[in-house]
Structure 1
């Protein structure tokens, strides 16, 4: 396998311990001839710590991983470079095997959209794009974007490979019982205080006139493109309200992409060059055009505009949930009944507003492990007490109001097979998956080209990277 890095070809099969690749800022390397305007660029020699399959792990990758941990507020003082190197090698092993597996597909459109959202959040956090580029030592937004796309794609591939390893692993009731029984009584896990939570959600309505205003705006844009030859891409830059606007609304999608079903249905019904009429998705109102059909992929452009709620509808939503809370507190209606008949949240309405723990799949939340936001909302609530009105927002940024209650509390206790079956089952399943991953790693390391250089040869890794 031949790598091209910093203008230097690196043959993975013939790497020496002293192999260096050029990536940073010290060693002078002539990039152009003397008669060009460009000056010599100062570069820094970067050592190769290891090679896993088709992937290099540079010493700077290990340094950067430690810096990233510090930036995230995580302590890295007790973690050695050997441990960081082992973690990176494990990640590259997943990516390497995922690239070889034809059943593992990564949506380029989703990666691109996720990266655009990531860039936007990062820019807001740090203050400006110039500061962001300086922080990440990049010359341009496009250079930073390409780097983030690479990182996000590798993360997606690694996650998909891990999911595939354990996707068919299940545990039977007998395996759960055996798992529990083999734990000595004095070593059985202790489950902390748990709660069951229910909520009622009221969303501000979008007035019909606001919806019609957006539909008219999209129709005007569409007519200008069709009748006057205006550029769809330019219109997207000027009017679209999502991360693709900077690229003229451009996306590449497949039928398998996890996009809004109405959006996909409209896009795949269009011919090349055709522009849809305005339509609604869960995110807003769109028009879409198809630039090119490439087999099972579409190169499309879209414009999205989201109707705004008004100050009046926000006040009305707040009044409504305040009224609901008052009626519950007075005892005129139960929380369960109010949630079933009045809540705007379809996912929880049918079950009286009860929330499902995404980690365990049941209705219990362990307070020591619960999301900090939920913890703050429920920690001081007594059973069946109704919270004050809380403000929240959906994953699409839509503001809403809610009230919550704790329907049941379960005090801290030692694991009991009958009472805590779902949690014990989860622990048994986790152990079985861990063993499957361990077995996969052992077999895959044995069949994959791996080379470890320099000081990292002296490391004592948990996995057999040295193949001893």
Structure 2
């Protein structure tokens, strides 16, 4: 917690959990878990996001949400003790994905700002904090549950003992192959970006603040709000080209050479080194993709699709040779599902742009070319997809859905282990709940200590 937040929390505890600004209450501490405060504003923001996502609560949101945040605090505390880190690139990917999803679903950037009553930069900063914490919680949970071994006999026994009306329903699943083309960005656009970065370097060398320039001009809006500052990060968590330059910096008063990563072009300034971790500021500029380049890219992919349909070569051959998606090129274009480590997706697990196209396709069909913004890079690209397979939704059977049933049993075991860990952690963690927020039926009753 930063100093300002510590002071706010101290004031809150001394004034009956209200944080004051002049004569008005500006926020309220509703829970304290360990040395972490949960503010009423946090609960309200979570409730708004859940409302936007259409989530239904099993109980009063003002009971469910703060308890969920409290559980997260337990995992984050343990993650800090165990030095759990997440890659900044993972955080950026998730923030870009969530921002693009909000804009697509709400209608525009302006409508998104109106809905959340925040600027885009403020929204991204909130998403950035949430993404980093969420990823840390996931990694901490994975460490706690470790490798759980399940035998086929255990899966069959689980399925055999299930009442008929409790047999799980397996949603529709699809396998998708993809070919991508990166739109060709004109050299003069790249030169313009490099020229602007060289100008910023000169301005810093003449005494201007790198932080201020990052706030004004960086396309990484998540770090821009903090003057381009990134948290302490290990080499393996950064884009390799970025890491090579950043870890070779020695003088905090110098600005790096221009470095190109998969996200765009950067200049970097060293802040501090601690062993094998580094803290830097950066300014990111993404070259603008002109409409003509997108049109040219989609036209080329439509031509490739026509050649595949006419039998000149297969989709698999085209993906292996022509696709610029390095994650799928060596697997005949087959899209991997990072959530399940398989090639099967439920529709809601696919990137929204792909799901919208695949939903109307028949097995074996190849789409018309379209554009999308991948979560990983946040850079627009041109795409064609082929629907490789579709398994319609159905009640599970042991013969057809063994892997799904195995995952259900594994998930049940993981939940049991995490449930046990949470209840044990509660016993050794200081918890204080505002009296007005205690009248709840909590999932974990140990929050309220008995006298």
Corresponding residue for residue 10 of structure 1: 13
Larger fraction in helix: 2
Query: Which residue of the partner structure matches residue 125 of structure 1?
Result: 109
Q: CA deviation at 1:403?
A: 1.7
**Partners of 1:63 and 1:234 in 2: how far apart?**
31
SS in 2 for 1:23: strand
Whether contact under 8 Å (1:360, 1:423) holds in the other structure is: no
Do residues 391 (structure 1) and 394 (structure 2) align? no
Q: Secondary structure at the match of 1:438?
A: helix
Give the one of 261, 274, 285 matched to 2:240: 261
Query: 2:408 aligned with 1:424, yes or no?
Result: no
Q: Which one of 24, 27, 47 corresponds to residue 42 of structure 1?
A: 24
For residues 370 and 184 of structure 2, what CA distance do their matches in structure 1 show? 17
1:283-326 deviations in whole A, cap 9, x for unaligned?
A: 22233232444555544333333334455543432221121121
Q: 1:336 to 1:210 in 2, by over 3 A?
A: same
Which residue in 1 is equivalent to 2:326? 346
SS in 2 for 1:183: coil
Change in Cα spacing, 1:79 to 1:263, as seen in structure 2 (3 Å) is: same
The 5 A counterparts of 1:186-335 are: 187-215=166-194, 217-219=196-198, 222=201, 232-233=210-211, 236=214, 240-243=218-221, 244-245=223-224, 248-256=227-235, 258-272=237-251, 273-335=253-315
**RMSD in angstroms over aligned alpha carbons?**
4.3
Aligned pairs for 1:360-399 (under 5 A) are 360-367=340-347, 373-395=353-375, 396-399=377-380
Q: What stretches of structure 2 of length at least 5 have no aligned partner?
A: 1-5
Partners of 2:322 and 2:96 lie apart in 1 by 37
Cα distance in structure 1, aligned partners of 2:289 and 2:72:
44
Moved more, 114-123 or 273-282: 114-123
User: Matched residues in 2 for 1:117 and 1:432: separation?
Assistant: 30
TM-score with structure 2 setting the length: 0.78
Structure 1 unaligned blocks of 5 or more: 12-18, 25-30, 32-39
State the alpha-carbon separation in 2 of the partners of residues 341 and 80 from structure 1. Answer: 52
The counterpart of 2:18, out of the listed 17, 22, 25, is: 22
Tell me how far apart the structure 2 counterparts of residues 309 and 64 of structure 1 sit (CA, whole Å).
Answer: 34
Question: Of 90, 93, 101, which aligns to 2:71?
Answer: 90
Distance in 1, Cα, partners of 2:273 & 2:348: 51
Write the distance in 1 (CA, Å) between the matches of 2:389 and 2:276: 50
Matches within 5 A, 1:34-113: 40-43=22-25, 46=28, 50-57=31-38, 65-75=46-56, 79=60, 81-99=62-80, 101-105=81-85
Secondary structure of the residue aligned to 1:353 is coil
In structure 2, relative to structure 1, the CA distance for the partners of 1:400 and 1:340 (3 Å cut) is same
